[in-house]
Amino acid sequence: MIDRLPPAPRVRWRGDLPVAEIAQLAGVSQPTVSKVLNGRAGVGDATRRRVESLLREHGYRRPAAAPGTAGVEVLFSGMLSYIAMEVVRGIEDVAAARDLTVSATDIGRRAAAGQSWIEPLLLRRPVGVVAAFAGFTAAHLELLDAGDIPVVTLDPIGDLHPTPSVGSTNWSGALAATRHLLGLGHRRIGVITGPVKDLSARARLDGFRAGLDAADVPFDEGLRRGGVFTFEDGRDLGLELLRRPDRPTAVVCGDDLQALGVYEAARICGLRIPDELSVVGFDDIEQCAWCGPPMTTVRQPFAEMGAAAAQLVLALAAGERPARSRVELGVTLVVRGSTAPPAGR
């Protein structure tokens, strides 16, 4: 005969009002309040926010994670594997020193499968969350805040103030790339940007324009194209620029995937890089050193950004108030074989 194990003790939540009164105030059933308390599925976001707000107001707090399960959760969506691995490596370096685990969730994959990610995350009760994906919203922040789970965003696309965030010096990086091309003698420089709502894309465009302004080179709106950070957009928008009768002699791209797309556009147009066209990317993904010729780009310190985000979120979890809510790490211009003086110089 096999002895039955005693049931696991139930978590007792305490506040200044009974669950029944919380349910009445929220206009929901007691089981719905119980689901919210325990991070279970089956509750709409608006209802969950309303209940969490009341629970927080009346002294209810989600219990700490069980010993041995505490960790930092990293949220991605469609991020290149190389970048994601570097970010996680930086987070793990910090977490391991504090005997914490690190887990990653691909939000895009769960969404494509019709699966929720916020409810399982609330149930896991991580020590903190590093959000490195574009779809992170103020509503998500409210839910995590109600569960006493601190959040740090990595290179957010929009302003999630006052949420702490970590990024890089995008403006300075684009300025350095533009100055490099100007120093080689280029004056007709095209630019392909990322999404207009993306803070990093806007900063890179501003840095590009600042470089032109400092050299008294007029900004030609006809040499600007805006898209998303993909190879396909780089190729298609690059073809638009390179098929102009007054095509640019150089192109600054919003990221390396776009720059690789411009490589393909140059091939289609029969232009040699860098003899007839110089190209600069942004990020320094591993493919930059492999393509022909190797790509000049702006390197972002992804591992260091992950480590900074981990340090910040763990400080928040310890109840510390960060000295800065925004941390920006420096970038580096890496000059390789894709840039040279324009033909005729």
Domain extent for 29? 19-57
Mean pLDDT of 172-193: 98
- 316 in a structural domain: yes
Number of domains in the chain: 3
- 137 in a structural domain: yes
Helix axes 302-317, 81-96, angle to 10 degrees: 40
- Residues 175 and 254 reside in one and the same domain: yes
- 89 in a structural domain: yes
* 41-90 pLDDT, tens digit each: 667 878 888 888 888 788 776 555 444 456 999 998 878 888 999 999 99
Greater model confidence, 93 or 159:
93
Give the model's confidence band at 239: pLDDT under 50 very low, under 70 low, under 90 confident, else very high: very high
% residues pLDDT > 90 (the chain) = 56
Q: What is the CATH number of the domain that holds 137?
A: 3.40.50.2300
Mean pLDDT of 147-175: 84
- Residues 143 and 161 reside in one and the same domain: yes
- Residues 219 and 279 reside in one and the same domain: yes
| Residue 46 buriedness (CB in 10 A; 0-12 / 13-18 / 19+) | exposed
pLDDT, residue 209, reads: 98
- Residues 174 and 290 reside in one and the same domain: yes
- 13 in a structural domain: no
- Residues 164 and 229 reside in one and the same domain: no
- Residues 42 and 92 reside in one and the same domain: no
- Residues 137 and 232 reside in one and the same domain: no
- 342 in a structural domain: no
pLDDT, residue 5, reads: 33
The beta-strand segments (E) located in the chain are: 71-76, 101-106, 128-132, 151-154, 165-168, 189-193, 224-226, 250-253, 278-283, 296-299, 326-329, 332-334
- 45 in a structural domain: yes
- Residues 179 and 293 reside in one and the same domain: yes
* 84-125 pLDDT, tens digit each: 999 999 999 999 998 999 999 888 887 777 777 887 888 888
pLDDT, residue 9, reads: 34
- 8 in a structural domain: no
Q: Which residue has the tokens 């591992």?
A: 303
- Tokens describing residue 63: 């219990």
- Residues 254 and 281 reside in one and the same domain: yes
pLDDT, residue 238, reads: 98
- Residues 174 and 287 reside in one and the same domain: yes
pLDDT, residue 12, reads: 39
- Residues 164 and 174 reside in one and the same domain: no
- Residues 101 and 143 reside in one and the same domain: yes
